[in-house]
Amino acid sequence: MNKISIKTVLFLVAVAFIMSCTAPKPKNEGWIQLFNGKDLNDWNIKITGFPLNENYNNTFRVEDSLLKVRYDQYDKFDGHFGHIFYKTPYSHYKIRVEYRFVGEQVAEGAGWAFRNSGIMIHGQSAESMEVNQDFPVSIEVQLLGGNGTDERSTLNLCTPGTNVVLNDSLWTQHCTNSKSKTYHGDQWVTVEVEVRGDSIIKHIIDGQTVLEYTKPQLDDRDLNFQKLLPADKNILLKKGSISLQAESHPVDFRKVELLNMGDD
């Protein structure tokens, strides 16, 4: 091999090395699977009226590689709201969830809970919930399905025991609709939430931000306010638990994954 060809080879090797270092990272690099598709070992269950990790009537289960909420062992709902909590709290992250509503709502479920679930973020711990407490103090990213006819947005905001700042004003309304379209039937829907500590939170679907707000915080009107207020009296929520809801309608979760962007 002559000197020119050796220089050429070395040049090409150098270029290839530089490109490998500067090439964009694969889209899913850094994402971790909170749900492993096999079991619920990394999750804690809290159902209204029952102690921690009593999975009343097998409400939460894994079948066909899906995390399922089911009511086939219930006679009626009887106010047994459920939440399944991931073991680790987070502060700055993106969470991506694939869900679908299926089947019929259990008897005596509330009308508003038809095809209704949620991703609870910045929540209190499962261990700190009272036995008869319905919902964790948290920011709820509400997941809703359509009835086949009427418009009904998903990725709405609800605020059990909390408030946010919306359009530069303290927002105390319990539920606020996003600008998403309606998703009817049993189709799979993929949603994403971007959480930046106590600053901004964005609800994203189909690549579009459909709702955003800032300064998630404890609501001093809530019965749990004093119990959850930290020693420094700072009401802003910088981090917290992540949980998924069971509100009387069967729902499947196919993927629950998270990109950790660091904690402050």
Give the per-residue SS3 of 190-250: EEEEEEECCCEEEEEECCEEEEEEEEEEECCCCCCHHHHCCCCCCCECCCEEEEEEECCCC
Start-to-end C-alpha separation, the chain: 56
- For the question of whether the overall pTM of this predicted structure is more than 0.85, the answer is yes
Residue 15 confidence class, pLDDT cut points 50, 70, 90: very low
Q: Tell me which residue of 257, 262, 261, 251 sits closest to 34, measured CA to CA.
A: 257
* pLDDT band at 24; cut points 50, 70, 90: very low
Q: Is the pLDDT of residue 260 over 90?
A: yes
d(CA 77, CA 57): 11
pLDDT digits (tens, 9 = 90+) for 209-253: 999 999 999 999 999 999 999 999 999 999 999 999 999 999 999
What is the C-alpha radius of gyration for the chain, rounded to an integer number of angstroms?
22
Mean predicted confidence (pLDDT) in 138-162? 98
Share of the chain above pLDDT 70, in %: 89
Statement: residue 20 has pLDDT above 70: no
Q: Give the mean pLDDT of the chain.
A: 92
DSSP state of 132: T
Average pLDDT value for residue range 117-132: 98
Give me the pLDDT at residue 8, please. 55
Given a cut of 90, whether residue 148 has pLDDT beyond it is yes
Quick one: tokens of 239?
């981090």
Q: Where are the domains of the chain?
A: 30-260
pLDDT value at 13 more than 50: no
Tens-place pLDDT, residues 89-122: 999 999 999 999 999 999 999 999 999 999 999 9
Is the CATH code 1.10.240.10 the one for domain 30-260? no
Residue 24 DSSP code = P
